[in-house]
């Protein structure tokens, strides 16, 4: 059985890992010219971490984790307004860069990755699907998977323009910089500054590096032509560490709209969507990497259950995952007012909630409230489990 996966991100690489260990011949194409190791800090736990553990990767993830002693908010002068110590209730959370997670999966995947290549044409058939690539070559495969993100080429070609990208009214940007003074000032704590409609946060990565994240309310979903100039315009007046942060000229900046994808169909025949191409939950839900790995596991599990029935397997994959994704997306929409408070009243309420979460025994309850879906999703043992490596 042959599979072509479009997209070398977390979802696509996780699926490649599982399929190749189940005996599939797998090839991955990626529109970017190089491996994308950018992105922002994520808290990785839940169903995705269970999948990583079954893949034998959990120890490697812990090796590159960045210990977070606390999360907290500051004002324009850097004075703390609220904080939450990361106590024992957070022991099951791995904080790491999204790019490090993708790299660890990639390094354990055998499939060839063809960079600067994407899908140009899809010609479905009953027993196979023929795929024309942008490099002029063609492939005939048993399965084509679009794991190519919110702005999926495969989704547009295979399912048309009717699927909805729900814009959540915000832009997000992230990058890393090297600055010894700022790195020491922040330390192993996640610090954030929030004013109505804008949030900026930072975390020291070691080696004088600092990871920064920006979030702002914006009615126009179109990203600016010059993201760095836009950040300086919208965040340059907020004080704290931001003047120093914004003087940096990042070599690799991540900038995008904050959106969710609500695809009416996740598969048709032998063509399927995976990860953000059909399941984008958004930064506000904070569970995207975990859901990407869980969905890849579920797809591989269903394909292994009935090897000769690819369309039927894909239908079962969607039926298992869609309710979970809908739950996580709904949580993300509700969480906007807490992560990006639109008013000073909401900021004060958020700070009060964080202080309440710091009371003895409340940290586990707080983490549970931030885990909206995927409980019990990874059950039994897949035919592509780590024992079959």
Distance CA 233, CA 235 (A): 6
Cβ count near 307 (within 10 Å)? 14
Among 385, 375, 376, 386, CA closest to 305 = 385
In this structure, is residue 234 part of a structural domain? no
More confident position, 310 or 84: 310
In this structure, is residue 310 part of a structural domain? yes
382 has a pLDDT exceeding 90: no
**Above pLDDT 70, what percent of the chain?**
89
Distance CA 230, CA 17 (A): 39
Average confidence score pLDDT of the chain: 87
Q: Which stretch of 18-32, 66-80, 268-282 has the lowest confidence by average pLDDT?
A: 66-80
**Above pLDDT 90, what percent of the chain?**
59
Q: Where does the pLDDT of residue 86 fall: very low under 50, low under 70, confident under 90, or very high at 90 and above?
A: low
In this structure, is residue 34 part of a structural domain? yes
In this structure, is residue 116 part of a structural domain? yes
In this structure, is residue 138 part of a structural domain? yes
> pLDDT at position 42, please?
81
Q: Where does the pLDDT of residue 25 fall: very low under 50, low under 70, confident under 90, or very high at 90 and above?
A: very high
Give the total number of structural domains in the chain: 1
> pLDDT at position 91, please?
63
CATH number, domain of 299, equals 3.50.50.60
Strands 138-141 and 129-133: antiparallel
In this structure, is residue 128 part of a structural domain? yes
pTM for the full predicted model: 0.88
Q: Where does the pLDDT of residue 312 fall: very low under 50, low under 70, confident under 90, or very high at 90 and above?
A: very high
In this structure, is residue 266 part of a structural domain? yes
60 has a pLDDT exceeding 90: yes
Domain that includes residue 6, residue range: 2-66+94-166+261-337+375-388
Laid out side by side, the sheet with 25-30 consists of 112-115, 25-30, 2-6, 143-146, 271-273, 267-268
In this structure, is residue 38 part of a structural domain? yes
């Amino acid at each position: 059985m042959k599979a072509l996966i479009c997209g070398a991100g977390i979802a696509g690489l996780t699926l490649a890992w599982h399929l190749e260990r189940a005996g599939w011949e797998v090839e991955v194409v990626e529109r970017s010219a190089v491996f994308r190791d950018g992105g922002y800090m994520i808290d990785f736990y839940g169903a995705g971490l269970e999948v990583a553990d079954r893949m034998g990767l959990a120890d490697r993830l812990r090796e590159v984790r960045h210990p977070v002693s606390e999360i907290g908010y500051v004002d324009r002068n850097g004075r703390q307004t609220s904080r939450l110590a990361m106590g024992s209730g957070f022991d099951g959370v791995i904080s790491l860069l999204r790019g490090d997670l993708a790299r660890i999966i990639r390094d354990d995947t055998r499939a060839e990755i063809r960079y600067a290549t994407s899908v140009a044409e899809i010609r479905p058939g009953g027993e196979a699907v023929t795929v024309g690539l942008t490099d002029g070559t063609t492939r005939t495969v048993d399965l084509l998977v679009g794991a190519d993100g919110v702005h999926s080429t495969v989704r547009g070609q295979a399912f048309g323009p009717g699927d909805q990208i729900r814009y959540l009214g915000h832009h997000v940007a992230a990058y890393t910089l090297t600055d010894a003074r700022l790195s020491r000032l922040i330390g192993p704590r996640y610090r954030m500054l929030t004013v109505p409609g804008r949030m900026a946060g930072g975390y020291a990565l070691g080696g004088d590096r600092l990871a920064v994240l920006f979030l702002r309310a914006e009615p126009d979903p179109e990203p600016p032509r010059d993201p760095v100039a836009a950040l300086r315009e919208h965040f340059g007046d907020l004080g704290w560490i931001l003047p120093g942060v914004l003087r940096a000229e990042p070599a690799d900046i991540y900038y995008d709209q904050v959106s969710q994808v609500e695809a009416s169909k996740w598969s048709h025949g032998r063509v399927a969507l995976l990860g953000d191409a059909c399941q984008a939950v958004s930064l506000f839900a904070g569970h995207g990497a975990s859901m990407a790995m869980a969905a890849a596991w579920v797809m591989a599990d269903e394909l292994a259950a009935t090897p000769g029935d690819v369309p039927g397997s894909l239908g079962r994959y969607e039926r298992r995952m869609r309710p979970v994704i809908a739950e996580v997306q709904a949580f993300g929409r509700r969480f906007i007012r807490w992560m990006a408070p639109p008013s000073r009243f909401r900021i004060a309420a958020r700070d009060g909630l964080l202080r309440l979460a710091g009371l003895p025994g409340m940290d586990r309850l707080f983490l549970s409230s931030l885990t909206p879906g995927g409980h019990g999703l990874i059950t039994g043992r897949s035919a592509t489990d780590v024992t079959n490596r």
